[in-house]
Every structure is written in structure tokens, then in C-alpha cells.
């Protein structure tokens, strides 16, 4: 009983720690004054201004486009690569996989710097293109690492069987292999999208001065005073995710309860 | 079979975007441009890093103050030592706070047979808000005239200097990286078969013993990958010291960022990056020496 | 979780697509301006200052309205050296470096000569005293500055202190004035700028040395003073973020540009407090610095840059900026619109004699590299 109480208190403290800054941001998105310590009354002013602020909206747009495109491209490349890797011999495959691991164990800072040096070296001007390339580049290894384990679980004979039954290789891939590795592909999409949205360091080094992601915009303001409009935007984004999570969670819980009920009936 | 061709484009991509950039860092670390814009070989970058004519007092974990010695070391060695100190402490604190949390979370998800990872969701949720913003919100909470101090003021305590010091930076790191510690440990813990624990209990082990002899050893891979995932970013971040350090901190991340973005000295910056990379790889090597081949313990496993 | 993210992905596509509908500025020439943070009026507001009311406007928006062919891409920095580092890889149309950085850029051939015929307002309104300052030990180079750059704002470097907490300082001897910055009793209550020249300059000035010294003994003394200060006084180091902390009383004293003092006083007035709570002293031998508008050699839009400079010299616009920014304006007409207490204050608008007692930072290869090395050592402690 006491142990249980202790556990609950512990978890409450942890969640308090995790959510205190989030709460502060949400509260201050409704704060009349710009100050970050004083409550000056309730207002929706910042939300109204947010939708007129071209700079912030553009940054949001760049962030979303880069996240979506880099997630899709890197997942597609990773899927194709994994299919190819699967039919390579063991030695070559493990060599490639080892190199793929490199970005995972390289600090973000070094990755960002090294990509910046690469673009500088080949004379590519930093901007949207380099930003996107950089995101695809750091996403691909994560996508491959999410998809390749699914191939390990895949029955090698499945593909052969499909061919024996008269499928062309392309058909066999689409009809047989893809459905099998789908969970991996979905994980890859989620992971790369999240990583791209969250990234600051690599974007900071590769975006140049003409484009800006949300993270870069926030960084340039953060030391003095963050524009409350950014708080408003984050609140909106946060609430969107929260509502979706709750909806899905409620639905799966209900599904599960239904299933359990059916199970009980069958007994 | 022809299928293998599908892997070739990636091999090319990898050569350009993984291997070449790292080679370039090494290349720039060993070269510089002369006055006419010609590239030449030089060790100046590394010489700058280890320059003995520009030294500061070495004081890892306050040892110099404690033992009363005065050791002059090149400035960047000191910067690296300071970064290591803060990163190590943050990692340990993350582990100490994170393990029980992961344990409790795992117990809950197991009690519900894996469904409803609601608590886990709640744990990840804050990560969907920009990390910079959340760190910045700590400023509002903890600055000398911030929310917490104002509140404590009503109770007649304080004010306390929470930020612009080691504590503030450490707090920022623990806050930002705690989920990276909890998630891998959690994902290992939920996979431990309940029958193992039952078996241990049947054999007469009390719960402490079961934990120490069964659960904890089995969760080691999660702990190791958690440590990796916290230590590496903690060692290299330049944001957190920037925001919470009151502008007084030069950690290795800031030093590298400064070389590239302020001093525009690519040679020294690249040399520092290489030093950092060797350092991080070496520390991870030590750590993972004991780790078996593990595909588990990933962030989203 | 998976469903959520897939829905999010979709949502992201939708939002991104919607946003691309509201893109503006198509068919306009981009003008990229790289300026100090909080150094131009970006909002419409009424500012009360010393009993007067000023209507201010968003100057960038006004410019885009007056010159519809241009779309301004406005970016900021808070450090001359950070701005300089960007020049290798980025192209800008307008820069606002401080004097010594202007000289350095001229020496390196990074600036283009201005076409004075396209800047009639500058010719008409510029306070010529600023042209006659000595910007470099080499007089010929110093004279060239006015061909490449137009003063935007200027200021002095002095001590700001909160007179409710600190006994008034009635001196202009640098050691006496700066002493409080190095007093361990002021733990965590001192503000310092994060820029290299200001920090080292204050320490040199404290000992009565030249701000451009290359004497290694003097520099070492300055370096050790700053290192000790970081250890024992633990100052808060920053730029724009410090102003609110002086206003709130979190910081009690610090090094400031005179313009920041004015801004702090305006903010105090705004909060209905006594603006004279924060005092400013200018020690002898301190720094006078002039931030100048210039056009880089590789500017993509030099025509727009000239129009922009000329626009900033419109009397009405110059007044708005002088009020919003708080720094001393070199615009003779805008000056007349400012409160009398401000114009007559020698710390903001120094007379000949005061100007003579101040020193401008110089730039040379030896100075740049020596100071950078010292600065690294200070940072690394």
C-alpha cells in the first residue's frame, strides 16, 4: 500500500517535471503581456497575430515540407535498399550495414558540421535544397535500421515460392514482400518524420540564411524573449497531437474491451 | 540475382553523404588556405587545440580546489573535461531518476497486457513540443525573478540561483534527455517474461533479491543503450549551455560551433570535431564492450 | 501511436499545402538586410518618453510600402564577429557593422563604394562630425570610411547601475567607475556583454590602458581580471536579453552601450516606474562606437540597398528609429524631435571635448588575432 503510494507520488513528480515547462508555455500563449514572468490577463491576441505572421508561418511550412518529404524519400530509398541488401552476400551486407551505423554513433554536431563542409566543398549554396538533402541523409540510416529487421524475420522461401507460382519479380515484391515488411515501413515513417521535425543542430548548419525552420526561428529568438506567437503555435501543435493520441487511445481501449467481452461470452 | 542492384544507389548515396563528409572533416582538419587561397597541409589545427601557450587551470570535479594543485592545461582540454563532467553527471542522474520510472511504467503496461501504453504516451508527449522552447520555459520558471522564486518568496524562502550555473545546465540536460533513458529501459523491461520472475519467487527469492538477480541483469542492455543515448547528446549539445548557462559556459559543443560560426576557423573547428568524435567513440567503446549483440532497447522497439 | 503519426503526416501535408497558398512577394526583388537585434522599429505602437508621445511604425513595412518593387528579408545578429563569419557563405545587401569592423571589411575589399548621388537624404541630414572621427591608426584608411559607409546610430560604452541599490557614482575615472563590476559582493547581479571587444575593452579601460593595446603585459592583466570576474562575480553574459533584467532589478549594474540605457529607461517608464532608477556613467577613455550602413561587394541588390539607406534617412523614419532603438542618431533633423534631456546629455550626445576623451576600436590583423586568442581563453574558463 505504502509502496504503491510511493510509486504514484514518484510518477506524479516525474510528470510534473516533464510537463511544468509545457504548462508554462501554454499559459503564456494566453498572456496579455510579453513578459515571461508576469501574468497580465487573458488574451487570444497572439493566436490572431500568429496567423498573420508570415515569417513564422513560412518557417512552419518549411519545417513540415522538409519533414514530410524527407520522411517519404528516406523511407522509399530505405525500402528499396533493404530489398537489394537482402540478396547481397553476407560479407558485403554487413559492410554496408556497418557504414550505415556510422551516423547513429556520430554526434549530431559533427554530422551537421560535416554536411556543411560537404556542401561547401562541392560548391552547393546552402538553402532549402541543402536542408532537405541533409534531412534525407540523416534519416536514411534510421529508416534502414527500422526496416531491415523485418527482412530478418521474412521467410526467404516466400519470395521464391511467389516466383515459382509465376509472379514476375516486381509483382512478387509488391504482392508478397511489401505487406510482410509494412510494420517496419510505418515505423520508419514515424521515426524519420519525428526526427526531422525535432532536429535543430543539423538544420542550423545546413540551412543557410534564406530559409529557416521553426527550430532555427526559435533559437534566434530564444536568448532574449520568445515571441508569444511561437508559444501559441506550439500550443496548437501540442494540442493537435494530444487530441489525436487520446482519440486513438480511447478507440483501441474500446476495441480491446469489446474483444475481451466477446472472449468472455465465448467462455 | 538482379535484386541486388536495388542496393547499389544507396551505396553511392552512402559514399557521398556518410563517408565523404567525415573524410572532409579529417581533410579540413589537416589543411588550411594560404593568403592566395591555395590549400596546404598543416597541423596547425591540432596545434591550436593542444596549444600550450594558451592554458588555463584544470579543475575536473573541483579536484584542483579540493586537493589544492594547480595544473595548467591547453584550453580545449579543459573545455572537454568540463563537458565530460557535466555530461557524466547528467547521465548518472538520468539513470537514477529514469530507471525507477521505467520500472513502474513497465509494470503498468504489463499489468494491462501491453495494451494502452497511455502512460508511455504521456511520457513521450512533451517531446513533441520543440526542445528549445521547453528549455526556454525553464528560464521563465527558474530565473532569479522567475515563477518558482516568486512562489518561494511568498513562503519566505529564497531567492535561489537555480540557473546560469552547473545546476541549471545539468537540469536542462536531465530534462531533455530523460526520455532517451526511460524508453530503452522500458522496452527491455516489458519484454522480460513474467514467468522468469515467478520462477525466482517460487524458488524462494524475495522481491529485492528477484530484482537484483533477475530483473536488473536482464535490463542491462536497455541501461547501456540508454546511457549511450543520453551521454552522446549531453556531451555535444551547445544549446542547453547557451540558454541556461548565462553565456558563461564554453563546452565542447559551443567551442566547435564557435570555431565554425564565429571564428570561421575550419581547420581548428574540424580538428576539434575529430577530437570530440574520437573521445565519444572511445567512451562508448568502453561502455559497450560488455554489451552483447542487441537489436532491442531501441527508441521505438 | 502509428495511426496518430500517419494522421499527423497527412495533416502536415495539408497544412503545408494551405500555407503555400498565402505566399506573398512574388515577382519582387529580395533585399536581404542583416542588422543588429532590436535595432530597427518593427512594430506599430505609441511610446511615451520623458513626457512626450511618439507614434512609431514598422519601418520595414513602411519601406516595402514606399518601394513596392522590393521584398525585405530581414535578419539579425548580436555580435560583429558572428556577422563577419557569415560573410563567406552568405550574400547580404545591407550590413550594419561597427566602425572597426567596417574598416576591416574595407581592408579586405568586402564592401562596395556607395554612390552618394543616390543618397540625397544622407547628404542633407548627416551630422558631419561623425565623418571626421579617426577610425583607424592609418589616417588615409580612416578617411575612406565615409565613401563606403553611412553612420546609422552611435553610442558610448559606460556603466549602468541601479541607484536604489548602489551608491551613486560621481566620477569619470575608469577605475572608480568600473570597480563595482569586479566586486564579489555583487555575485550574479552584474551584466556583461558577450562581445569580445566590449569585454576586453572594459578590463583594459579599468586599468587605464588603451582599448587597442597590443602590450602583452597589459592584455594579460585584462585577461586575468575577466577570468577572476567570471569565477568570483559570475556575471550574466548576453546582449539584448540583459535589458529586461536591469529593468526588473535582477541585475544591479553592468556594462552597456548608452543606447541600451535609454531603452531600459523607456521600458521603466512604460512600467510606470521612475526611469532615473537606472543611471549611466561614462568613464574617461571608454569607447565610442558608430554602427554604419554598408553594402557588401557581393550584394545581389545594390540598387535596393541604396534606396534602403536613403529611406532610413527620411527625417520621419530616422526619428521613429531613434525613439525605438534609443541609440544616438547622427540625423540632424531627427535629433530635434527628441526630448531635450536626451540631447543635452553628454553621455549620449558627447560634445567635442567628451568625444576627444573617448577611443574608437581599431582593427588590424595583429589586434584581431591577439584579442581572439585572449577571448577564447577567457571563454574556456
pLDDT tens-place string over residues C259-296: 999 989 988 888 888 989 999 999 999 999 999 999 99
A neighbours by CB contacts (3+ pairs under 8 Å): B, C
Contact state of A18 with B178 under an 8 Å Cβ cutoff:
yes
Residues 6+ apart with CB under 8 A from C307: C67, C70, C118
For residue A145, the tally of other CB atoms under 10 A from its CB is: 21
d(CA C96, CA B30): 34
Picking from B82, B72, B92, B59, the residue whose alpha carbon sits closest to that of residue B248 is B82
Whether chain A has a CB inside 8 Å of the CB on B251: the answer is: no
Residue bearing cell 576586453: C200
Q: Mean per-residue pLDDT for B139-158?
A: 87
d(CA A175, CA A213): 39
Contact state of B264 with C373 under an 8 Å Cβ cutoff:
no
Output DSSP code: residue C314.
Answer: S
Q: Is the pLDDT of residue C29 over 50?
A: yes
How far is residue A26 CA from its own chain's centroid?
22
d(CA C186, CA C182): 8
Residue B19 lies in a domain: no
Picking from B161, B19, B119, C233, the residue whose alpha carbon sits closest to that of residue A98 is B19
Residues 63-92 of A with CB under 8 A from B: 77, 80-81, 83-88
For residue C21, the tally of other CB atoms under 10 A from its CB is: 6
Contact state of C380 with B255 under an 8 Å Cβ cutoff:
yes
DSSP element (H, E) containing C82: helix C80-86
Residues 6+ apart with CB under 8 A from B186: B102, B105, B106, B109, B120, B222
Residues C325 and C39: beta-carbon distance below 8 Å: yes
Q: Is the pLDDT of residue C227 over 60?
A: yes
Whether chain B has a CB inside 8 Å of the CB on A25: the answer is: yes
Picking from A155, A207, A173, A176, the residue whose alpha carbon sits closest to that of residue A84 is A173
Q: Residue A213: which domain range?
A: 54-226
Of the candidates B165, B246, B263, which has its C-beta nearest C237's C-beta? B246
d(CA C181, CA C189): 9
Whether chain A has a CB inside 8 Å of the CB on B9: the answer is: yes
User: In B, which residues are within 8 Å of C234 by CB distance?
Assistant: 164-165, 246, 248
Residue A49 lies in a domain: no
d(CA B276, CA A200): 19
Residue B30 lies in a domain: no
| Chain B residue closest in CA terms to A144 | B10
d(CA B71, nearest CA chain A) in Å: 30
pLDDT at position C78 is 78
Residues B236 and A109: beta-carbon distance below 8 Å: yes
Expressed in angstroms, the distance from the first to the final Cα of chain B is: 32
Q: Is the pLDDT of residue B116 over 70?
A: no
CATH number for position B258: 1.10.3720.10
Mean pLDDT: which of A82-91, A95-104, A228-237, C212-221 is highest? C212-221
Confidence band of B296 (pLDDT split at 50, 70, 90): very low
Residue B47 lies in a domain: no
Contact state of C380 with B56 under an 8 Å Cβ cutoff:
yes
pLDDT at position C313 is 96
Residue A242 lies in a domain: yes
Contact state of B262 with C81 under an 8 Å Cβ cutoff:
yes
Q: Mean per-residue pLDDT for B198-205?
A: 84
d(CA A5, CA A254): 28
Q: Mean per-residue pLDDT for A142-160?
A: 83
Q: A158-172 burial, b for 16+ CB within 10 Å, e for fewer? A: ebeebeeeebeeeeb
pLDDT at position B51 is 79
* DSSP letter string, C189-248: -EEEESSHHHHHHHHHHHTT--TT---HHHHHHHHHHHHHHHHHT--EEESTHHHHHHHH
pLDDT at position C329 is 95
Of the candidates A36, A77, A222, which has its C-beta nearest B243's C-beta? A222
Whether chain B has a CB inside 8 Å of the CB on A191: the answer is: yes
Of the candidates C24, C75, C92, which has its C-beta nearest A54's C-beta? C24
Q: Residue B168: which domain range?
A: 75-288
Residues A197 and A63: beta-carbon distance below 8 Å: yes
Q: Based on the structure, what is the number of domains in chain A?
A: 2
Q: Mean per-residue pLDDT for A229-244?
A: 85
Listed range (A220-229, C137-146, C278-287) with the worst mean pLDDT: A220-229
The greatest distance separating any two alpha carbons of chain A, rounded to the nearest whole angstrom, comes to 74
Confidence band of C5 (pLDDT split at 50, 70, 90): low
Q: Is the pLDDT of residue A266 over 60?
A: no
d(CA C331, CA C319): 8
| Chain A residue closest in CA terms to C14 | A64
How far is residue C118 CA from its own chain's centroid?
25
d(CA A244, nearest CA chain C) in Å: 6
User: In B, which residues are within 8 Å of C162 by CB distance?
Assistant: none
pLDDT at position A258 is 66
Whether chain B has a CB inside 8 Å of the CB on A174: the answer is: no
Dihedral angle over CA of A74, A76, A77, A83, nearest 10: 140
Whether chain B has a CB inside 8 Å of the CB on A43: the answer is: no
Residue bearing cell 508555455: A25
Residue B13 lies in a domain: no
| Chain C residue closest in CA terms to B57 | C381
> Where do runs of H (alpha helix) occur along chain A?
2-28, 45-50, 54-86, 90-105, 108-121, 128-153, 156-164, 169-172, 178-198, 201-206, 214-222, 228-266
Residue A187 lies in a domain: yes
- Let me know whether A2 and A102 are in one domain: no
Q: Is the pLDDT of residue C1 over 60?
A: no
Residue B54 lies in a domain: no
Three-class SS state of B191: coil
Contact state of A110 with B277 under an 8 Å Cβ cutoff:
yes
Residue A206 lies in a domain: yes
Q: Is the pLDDT of residue C94 over 90?
A: yes
- Let me know whether A266 and A249 are in one domain: yes
Phi, psi torsion values for C103, nearest 5 degrees: -60, -45
Percent of chain A with pLDDT over 90: 24
pLDDT at position B67 is 75
Residues B162 and B245: beta-carbon distance below 8 Å: no
Residue B208 lies in a domain: yes
Q: Is the pLDDT of residue B27 over 80?
A: yes
The ipTM estimated for the assembled molecules is 0.83
| Chain A residue closest in CA terms to C19 | A61
| E-only strand ranges, C50-186 | 52-56, 70-77, 94-95, 149-162
CA atoms in the 13 A half-sphere facing the CB of C264 = 32
Of the candidates A111, A144, A187, which has its C-beta nearest B300's C-beta? A187
Which of the pair, B65 or C105, is modelled with greater confidence? C105
Confidence band of B294 (pLDDT split at 50, 70, 90): very low
Residues 199-218 of B with CB under 8 A from A: none
| Digit-coded pLDDT (tens) for C315-327 | 999 999 999 888 9
- Let me know whether A62 and A31 are in one domain: no
pLDDT at position A36 is 67
Confidence band of C20 (pLDDT split at 50, 70, 90): low
| Digit-coded pLDDT (tens) for B83-108 | 999 999 999 999 999 999 999 988 88
Residues 101-120 of C with CB under 8 A from B: none
Output DSSP code: residue C287.
Answer: B
| Chain A residue closest in CA terms to B6 | A84
Residues C293 and C23: beta-carbon distance below 8 Å: no
pLDDT at position C318 is 95
Q: Based on the structure, what is the number of domains in chain B?
A: 1
- Let me know whether A23 and A82 are in one domain: no
Three-class SS state of C114: coil
Phi, psi torsion values for C313, nearest 5 degrees: -95, 5
pTM value is 0.84
pLDDT at position A259 is 61
Residues B183 and B219: beta-carbon distance below 8 Å: no
DSSP element (H, E) containing A122: none
Residue A238's alpha-carbon distances to A26, A190, A200, A232, C235, in angstroms, are: 9, 17, 18, 10, 36
Contact state of C380 with B76 under an 8 Å Cβ cutoff:
yes
Residue B210 lies in a domain: yes
Of the candidates A85, A107, A118, which has its C-beta nearest B232's C-beta? A107
Residue A48 lies in a domain: no
Report the DSSP beta bridge partners of residue C72: C31
Residue C242's alpha-carbon distances to B143, B144, C76, C253, C264, in angstroms, are: 13, 13, 17, 11, 10
Whether chain B has a CB inside 8 Å of the CB on C82: the answer is: yes
- Let me know whether A221 and A267 are in one domain: no
Residue bearing cell 508554462: A24
Listed range (A224-228, C19-23, C147-151) with the worst mean pLDDT: C19-23
Residue A185 lies in a domain: yes
CATH number for position A100: 1.10.3720.10
Contact state of B264 with C88 under an 8 Å Cβ cutoff:
yes
Dihedral angle over CA of A252, A255, A257, A258, nearest 10: 180
Domains and CATH numbers, chain C: 29-153+288-346 (3.40.190.10), 155-287+363-379 (3.40.190.10)
pLDDT at position B293 is 45
User: In B, which residues are within 8 Å of A253 by CB distance?
Assistant: 115-116
Phi, psi torsion values for B128, nearest 5 degrees: -80, -10
User: In C, which residues are within 8 Å of A130 by CB distance?
Assistant: none
User: In C, which residues are within 8 Å of B79 by CB distance?
Assistant: 380
d(CA A48, nearest CA chain B) in Å: 20
Residue B9 lies in a domain: no
d(CA A87, CA B169): 48
d(CA B199, CA C192): 64
How, if at all, do strands C190-193 and C236-238 pair?
A: parallel
DSSP element (H, E) containing C280: strand C278-281
Picking from C65, C60, C13, C25, the residue whose alpha carbon sits closest to that of residue C39 is C60
Whether chain C has a CB inside 8 Å of the CB on B78: the answer is: yes
Q: Which of A8, A90, A114, A201 to mutate to test the interface with B (most CBs of B within 10 A)?
A: A114
Q: Which of B20, B99, B128 to mutate to test the interface with A (most CBs of A within 10 A)?
A: B128
- Let me know whether A148 and A231 are in one domain: no
Amino acid at each position: 500500500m505504502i509502496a504503491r503510494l510511493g510509486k504514484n507520488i514518484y510518477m506524479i513528480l516525474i510528470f510534473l517535471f516533464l510537463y511544468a515547462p509545457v504548462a508554462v508555455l501554454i499559459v503564456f500563449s494566453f498572456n496579455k503581456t510579453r513578459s515571461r514572468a508576469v501574468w497580465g490577463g487573458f488574451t487570444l491576441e497572439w493566436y490572431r497575430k500568429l496567423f498573420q505572421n508570415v515569417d513564422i508561418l513560412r518557417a512552419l511550412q518549411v519545417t513540415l515540407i522538409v519533414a514530410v518529404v524527407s520522411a517519404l524519400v528516406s523511407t522509399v530509398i530505405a525500402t528499396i535498399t533493404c530489398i537489394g541488401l537482402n540478396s547481397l552476400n553476407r560479407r558485403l551486407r554487413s559492410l554496408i550495414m556497418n557504414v550505415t551505423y556510422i551516423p547513429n554513433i556520430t554526434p549530431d554536431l559533427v554530422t551537421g558540421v560535416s554536411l556543411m563542409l560537404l556542401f561547401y566543398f562541392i560548391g552547393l549554396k546552402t538553402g532549402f535544397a541543402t536542408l532537405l538533402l541533409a534531412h534525407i541523409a540523416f534519416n536514411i540510416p534510421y529508416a534502414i535500421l527500422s526496416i531491415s529487421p523485418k527482412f530478418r524475420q521474412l521467410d526467404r522461401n516466400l519470395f521464391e515460392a511467389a516466383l515459382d507460382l509465376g509472379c514476375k519479380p516486381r509483382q512478387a515484391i509488391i504482392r508478397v514482400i511489401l505487406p510482410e515488411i509494412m510494420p517496419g515501413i510505418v515505423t520508419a515513417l514515424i521515426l524519420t518524420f519525428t526526427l526531422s521535425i525535432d532536429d535543430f543542430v543539423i538544420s542550423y548548419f545546413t540551412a543557410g540564411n534564406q530559409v529557416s525552420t521553426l527550430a532555427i526561428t526559435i533559437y534566434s529568438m530564444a536568448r532574449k524573449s520568445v515571441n508569444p506567437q511561437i508559444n501559441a503555435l506550439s500550443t496548437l501543435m501540442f494540442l493537435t497531437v494530444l487530441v489525436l493520441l487520446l482519440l486513438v487511445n480511447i478507440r483501441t481501449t474500446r476495441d480491446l474491451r469489446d474483444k475481451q467481452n466477446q472472449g468472455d461470452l465465448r467462455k | 540475382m538482379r535484386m541486388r542492384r536495388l542496393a547499389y544507389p544507396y551505396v553511392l548515396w552512402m559514399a557521398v553523404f556518410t563517408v565523404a563528409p567525415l573524410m572532409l572533416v579529417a581533410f579540413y582538419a589537416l589543411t588550411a588556405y594560404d593568403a592566395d587561397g591555395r590549400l596546404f597541409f598543416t597541423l596547425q589545427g591540432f596545434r591550436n587545440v593542444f596549444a600550450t601557450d594558451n592554458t588555463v587551470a584544470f579543475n575536473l570535479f573541483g579536484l584542483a580546489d579540493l586537493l589544492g594543485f594547480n595544473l595548467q592545461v591547453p584550453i580545449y582540454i579543459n573545455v572537454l573535461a568540463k563537458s565530460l563532467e557535466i555530461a557524466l553527471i547528467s547521465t548518472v542522474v538520468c539513470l537514477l531518476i529514469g530507471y525507477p520510472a521505467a520500472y513502474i511504467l513497465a509494470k503498468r503496461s504489463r499489468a494491462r497486457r501491453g495494451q494502452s501504453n497511455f502512460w508511455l504516451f504521456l511520457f513521450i508527449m512533451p517531446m513533441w513540443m520543440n526542445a528549445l522552447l521547453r528549455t526556454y520555459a525553464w528560464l521563465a520558471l527558474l530565473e532569479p525573478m522567475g515563477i518558482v522564486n516568486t512562489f518561494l518568496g511568498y513562503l519566505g524562502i529564497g531567492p535561489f540561483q537555480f540557473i546560469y550555473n552547473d545546476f541549471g545546465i545539468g537540469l536542462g540536460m536531465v530534462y531533455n534527455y530523460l526520455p532517451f533513458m526511460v524508453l530503452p529501459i522500458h522496452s527491455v523491461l516489458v519484454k522480460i517474461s513474467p514467468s522468469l520472475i515467478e520462477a525466482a519467487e517460487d524458488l524462494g527469492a524475495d522481491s529485492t533479491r528477484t530484482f537484483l538477480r533477475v530483473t536488473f541483469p536482464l535490463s542491462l542492455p536497455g541501461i547501456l543503450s540508454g546511457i549511450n543515448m543520453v551521454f552522446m547528446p549531453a556531451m555535444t549539445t551547445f544549446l542547453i549551455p547557451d540558454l541556461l548557462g548565462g553565456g558563461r559556459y564554453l563546452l565542447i559543443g559551443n567551442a566547435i560551433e564557435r570555431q565554425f560560426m564565429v571564428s570561421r576557423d575550419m581547420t581548428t573547428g574540424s580538428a576539434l570535431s575529430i577530437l570530440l568524435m574520437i573521445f565519444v567513440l572511445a567512451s562508448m567503446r568502453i561502455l559497450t564492450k560488455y554489451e552483447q549483440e542487441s537489436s532491442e532497447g531501441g527508441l521505438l522497439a | 501511436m502509428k495511426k496518430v503519426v500517419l494522421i499527423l503526416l497527412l495533416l502536415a501535408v495539408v497544412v503545408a499545402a494551405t500555407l503555400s497558398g498565402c505566399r506573398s512577394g512574388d515577382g519582387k526583388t529580395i533585399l536581404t538586410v542583416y542588422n543588429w537585434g532590436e535595432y530597427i522599429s518593427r512594430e506599430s505602437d505609441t511610446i511615451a518618453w520623458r513626457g512626450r508621445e511618439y507614434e512609431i511604425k514598422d519601418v520595414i513595412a513602411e519601406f516595402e510600402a514606399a518601394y513596392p518593387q522590393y521584398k525585405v528579408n530581414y535578419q539579425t545578429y548580436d555580435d560583429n564577429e558572428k556577422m563577419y563569419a557569415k560573410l563567406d557563405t552568405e550574400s547580404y545587401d545591407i550590413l550594419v557593422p561597427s566602425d572597426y569592423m567596417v574598416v576591416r571589411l574595407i581592408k579586405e575589399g568586402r564592401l562596395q563604394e556607395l554612390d552618394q548621388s543616390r543618397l540625397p537624404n544622407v547628404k542633407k541630414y548627416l551630422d558631419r562630425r561623425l565623418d571626421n572621427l579617426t577610425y583607424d591608426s592609418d589616417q588615409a584608411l580612416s578617411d575612406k570610411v565615409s565613401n563606403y559607409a553611412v553612420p546609422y546610430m552611435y553610442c558610448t560604452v559606460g556603466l549602468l547601475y541601479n541607484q536604489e541599490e548602489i551608491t551613486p557614482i560621481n566620477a569619470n575615472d575608469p577605475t572608480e567607475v568600473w570597480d563595482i563590476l569586479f566586486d564579489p559582493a555583487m555575485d550574479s547581479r552584474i551584466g556583461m556583454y558577450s562581445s569580445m571587444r566590449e569585454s576586453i575593452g572594459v578590463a583594459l579601460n579599468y586599468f587605464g590602458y588603451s582599448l587597442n593595446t597590443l602590450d602583452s603585459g597589459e592584455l594579460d592583466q585584462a585577461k586575468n581580471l575577466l577570468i577572476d570576474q567570471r569565477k568570483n562575480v559570475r556575471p550574466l553574459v548576453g546582449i539584448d536579453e540583459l535589458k529586461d533584467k536591469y529593468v526588473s532589478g535582477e541585475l544591479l549594474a553592468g556594462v552597456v552601450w548608452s543606447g541600451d540605457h535609454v531603452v531600459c529607461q523607456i521600458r521603466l517608464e512604460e512600467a510606470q516606474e521612475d526611469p532615473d532608477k537606472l543611471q549611466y556613467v561614462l568613464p574617461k577613455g571608454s569607447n565610442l562606437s558608430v554602427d554604419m550602413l554598408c553594402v557588401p561587394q557581393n550584394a545581389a541588390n545594390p540598387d535596393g540597398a541604396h534606396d534602403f539607406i536613403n529611406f532610413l534617412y527620411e527625417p520621419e523614419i530616422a526619428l521613429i528609429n531613434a525613439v525605438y532603438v534609443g541609440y544616438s542618431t547622427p540625423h540632424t533633423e531627427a535629433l530635434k524631435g527628441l526630448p531635450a534631456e536626451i540631447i543635452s546629455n553628454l553621455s549620449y550626445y558627447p560634445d567635442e571635448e567628451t568625444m576627444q576623451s573617448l577611443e574608437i576600436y581599431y582593427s588590424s590583423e595583429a589586434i584581431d588575432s591577439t584579442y581572439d586568442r585572449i577571448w577564447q581563453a577567457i571563454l574556456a574558463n
